[in-house]
Amino acid sequence: MALIVQKYGGTSVGDVERIKNVARRALATQRAGNDVVVVVSAMSGETNRLLKLTQAVTERPDEREQDVVAATGEQVTIGLTALAIQGHGGKARSFTGPQVRILTDSAFSKARIRSIDSGKLRQALERGEIAVVAGFQGEDEEGNITTLGRGGSDTTAVAVAAAIEADACEIYTDVDGVYTTDPNVVPQARKLERISYEEMLELAGAGAKVLQIRSVEFAMKYNVPLWVKSSFTQDPGTLVCPEDPSMEHVVVSGIAYDRNEAKVSVRGVTDKPGVAARLFKPLADANIVVDLIIQNVGQGGYADMSFTVGKTDLPRALEIIRGVSTELGARTVETDDQIAKVSIVGVGMRNHAGVAAKAFDVLAGAGINIEMISTSEIKVSIVIAAKFVELAVRELHSAFGLDKG
């Protein structure tokens, strides 16, 4: 007998029939002798509908109130899911984030989980109930409703799994696992049987949408075995787990891409200590995440700095950077939102030099110019013009031997 947390995303609970399907899956898991906690998202389209309502009321909605509205999406799903389980003869009880008590900080619309009280969930399991928990939401110390931001339900699921010391956390989605790259771009993409937390983290950070990055961090931190599965098939899916020695035989595990970043270049900054801090601290203070940063030392004590931010953050980032760069005496601030980031990820890279060099070679061969480069121990990220992204992904996927059969 195991304790299993199952998370079903918006597509998996998209209508009443699908919710009944989720109920059957959860019950089958319970009847196989397991304790089951189900975490659900809002029905697909609901969160967008609710956010649009808030934007129809006022142009810049206050995030506290926006969270109050957005959190109702998951609240509807937990009630319906509990009812569906009961309708199939099972016992179930729903819990909102505040009811569980999922305590978060007060960063409305992107709150972070501080702690989870597992008491009520354990009581429900002891009564033989399937506990149905609302993803994406919690409450802060003052009892305000908070949401965790897009994809936050994955984080809820893993955090709940960690809190109740679950044996596994299963993330059900509309794909049946983690692929070597996006099968929409590369039909030859292969499904991975397993992948390490570190690789999954890098893939998620590099734009693969299958799992939310914070949920992988949580899983790694608390060592929660994470399964990515489809709610529409019986496929075993992909296991995200600690690295095991056999994995190192594979140099590259996957290729990810991200079209949602924009590049900002600040040219002619005086090259002295503290300049980077003066540029990036105000961005951090404004909660703008900076991804790649490149500094080129120029001539005569001047440097050029380039960095990428999410496209939606670009207007705010520019406003801040224009203010700071004037103080720093920078020559120009330029932006480019027609870029894409392609990333090659694999734990095997640690022991294999030359992955980056090979990637550059492949792209050069395809006539693709490289604009920025960033490498980590198990990842190489390359910024290129957006129009080349599919070509680059296909070429790299093939060159690193990831194409199937």
Interface residues with its own copies (CB under 8 A) are 16, 19-20, 50, 53-54, 56-59, 61-62, 64-69, 71-72, 75-76, 78-80, 82-84, 86-87, 92-94, 96, 98-99, 143-145
Measured from the CB atom, is 42 or 359 closer to its own copies?
42
Task: Determine the Cα–Cα distance for residues 185 and 44; give it in Å rounded to an integer.
Answer: 23
Strands of the sheet containing 113-116, edge to edge, are 113-116, 102-104, 137-139, 145-147
Query: Quick check: helix, strand or coil at residue 298?
Result: coil
Task: Determine the Cα–Cα distance for residues 192 and 227; give it in Å rounded to an integer.
Answer: 11
CB atoms within 10 A of CB 37: 29
Structure tokens at 6: 């199952």
Amino acid identity at 184 = N
Which of 323, 327, 375 is CA-nearest to residue 350?
375
CB of 138 to its own copies, least distance (A): 14
Measured from the CB atom, is 117 or 361 closer to its own copies?
117
CB 191 within 8 A of CB 39: no
Measured from the CB atom, is 20 or 214 closer to its own copies?
20
Which of 275, 322, 323 is CA-nearest to residue 302?
275
Tell me the β-bridge partners of 266.
Answer: 305, 333
CB of 288 to its own copies, least distance (A): 23
Task: Determine the Cα–Cα distance for residues 160 and 158; give it in Å rounded to an integer.
Answer: 5
Measured from the CB atom, is 67 or 291 closer to its own copies?
67
The DSSP line for 76-144 is HHHHHHHHHHHHTT--EEEE-HHHHTEEE-S-TTS--EEEE--HHHHHHHHTTPEEEEETTEEE-TT--
CB of 240 to its own copies, least distance (A): 31
Structure tokens at 36: 């089951």
Measured from the CB atom, is 83 or 294 closer to its own copies?
83
Measured from the CB atom, is 86 or 374 closer to its own copies?
86
Measured from the CB atom, is 84 or 164 closer to its own copies?
84
**Residues in CB range of 138: below 8 A, 6 or more apart:** 97, 98, 101, 102, 103, 104, 111, 113, 145, 146, 147, 148, 156
Measured from the CB atom, is 61 or 207 closer to its own copies?
61
Helices (H) and strands (E) in the chain, counts: 13, 20
Task: Determine the Cα–Cα distance for residues 319 and 326; give it in Å rounded to an integer.
Answer: 11
Measured from the CB atom, is 90 or 254 closer to its own copies?
90
CB of 95 to its own copies, least distance (A): 9
Measured from the CB atom, is 119 or 329 closer to its own copies?
119
Query: Quick check: helix, strand or coil at residue 266?
Result: strand
CB of 135 to its own copies, least distance (A): 15
